[in-house]
Amino acid sequence: MQKTAFIWDLDGTLLDSYEAILSGIEETFGQFAIPYDKETVREFILRYSVQDLLEQVAEERNLDAEVLNQVRAQSLAEKNTQVVLMPGAREVLAWADEAGIQQFVYTHKGGNAFTILRDLDLECYFTEILTNQSGFARKPSPEAATYLLDKYELNPRTTYYIGDRTLDVEFAQNSGIQSINFLESSYEGNQRIQVLADIPHISEDWGREDCVSFVTET
C-alpha cells in the first residue's frame, strides 16, 4: 500500500479561529473608519479569503492593502489566546502520527501560524509547515502542493488536503491530490466529513479502494 500523507489547512479545519479573525478585522476596519458587518465579512472570507477582502476594501477606499494587512495581523496576533482547537483535532493528529501518516500544513496564515501551533503543542506533528510567507502562489494555485509532492516524493493518489472551504477542494483538485473537506463537492477526489473524528473511519476504506483499483488496472 502506498504511504499516506495529510496536508492540513488551519483556520476552520484544525483551528477554531474564525471568531478571533473576525474580531481582528472589525478592529482593523474601525481604525480606518470602514463599515463592518460581521455576517457579510464572514461569508466573504469563507468563500474567498481575508487577503481578498482587504484588497477589495483597499481598492474601494483608496487605501494601502499592505497597511491594512499589517494592522490586521498585529490585531490577530494579540488574540492568539482566543484560538482553540477544533473538536477532535489533537486526537486525529495523534492517530495519524501513530499510523505513520506524514503530516504537513499549508495555510494562508502568516508567521503567526508557528506561534499558535507551538502554543497549542502541535508543531511536533508536522514534517513541514508552509504559510503565506513561504513564497508560493496562494490557493487554489497548486504550487505549494507540487513543492511538497516533489520534495518528499509523495504519491498524489494517497496525499490528502484537509480543509473547510471550496477553495481548499479547488486547491486539491488543481494539485492532482485527494481532498477531505467539510463541504460537498463535485470533485470525485473529495470525501466529505462532518467532524474531524470521521477521518480515521473513512481511512478504513482507502486500502480496499487501492485493491479494487489494482484489480481493475490489471
My answer on whether 54 and 103 are in the same domain is: no
Q: Pairing between strand 5-8 and 190-192? A: unpaired
My answer on whether 77 and 89 are in the same domain is: no
My answer on whether 173 and 135 are in the same domain is: yes
pLDDT tens-digit map of 179-217? 999 999 999 999 999 999 999 999 988 865 443 343 334
- Final residue of a structural domain among 33, 50, 82: 82
Domain count along the chain: 2
Q: Report the alpha-carbon distance of residue 127 to residue 81 in Å, rounded.
A: 25
Stretch among 76-80, 99-103, 194-198, 211-215 having the lowest mean pLDDT: 211-215
My answer on whether 49 and 133 are in the same domain is: no
- Final residue of a structural domain among 82, 100, 131: 82
CB 34, CB 61: distance < 8 Å: yes
**Biggest distance spanned by C-alpha atoms of the chain:** 65
Q: Look at residue 15 and give its three-state secondary structure.
A: strand
10 Å CB burial of residue 165 (0-12, 13-18, 19+) is buried
Q: Give 2's pLDDT tier (boundaries 50, 70, 90).
A: low
Q: Which domain range does residue 96 map to?
A: 5-15+84-217
Q: Report the alpha-carbon distance of residue 154 to residue 5 in Å, rounded.
A: 7
My answer on whether 43 and 129 are in the same domain is: no
My answer on whether 47 and 113 are in the same domain is: no
CATH number at residue 66: 1.10.150.240
CB 75, CB 27: distance < 8 Å: yes
Q: Give 80's pLDDT tier (boundaries 50, 70, 90).
A: confident
Tell whether the model's pLDDT for residue 110 goes beyond 90. Answer: no
Residues 6+ apart with CB under 8 A from 200: 92, 95
Residue 68 pLDDT: 95
My answer on whether 205 and 113 are in the same domain is: yes
My answer on whether 74 and 172 are in the same domain is: no
My answer on whether 165 and 98 are in the same domain is: yes
CB 49, CB 138: distance < 8 Å: yes
- Final residue of a structural domain among 82, 97, 125: 82
My answer on whether 162 and 59 are in the same domain is: no
CATH number at residue 155: 3.40.50.1000
Q: Which three cell numbers stand for residue 134?
A: 513561504
Tell whether the model's pLDDT for residue 81 goes beyond 90. Answer: no
My answer on whether 75 and 101 are in the same domain is: no
My answer on whether 93 and 48 are in the same domain is: no
pLDDT tens-digit map of 25-50? 999 999 999 999 999 999 999 888 89
Stretch among 7-21, 24-38, 65-79, 196-210 having the lowest mean pLDDT: 196-210
pLDDT tens-digit map of 129-182? 999 999 999 999 999 999 999 999 999 999 999 999 999 999 999 999 999 999
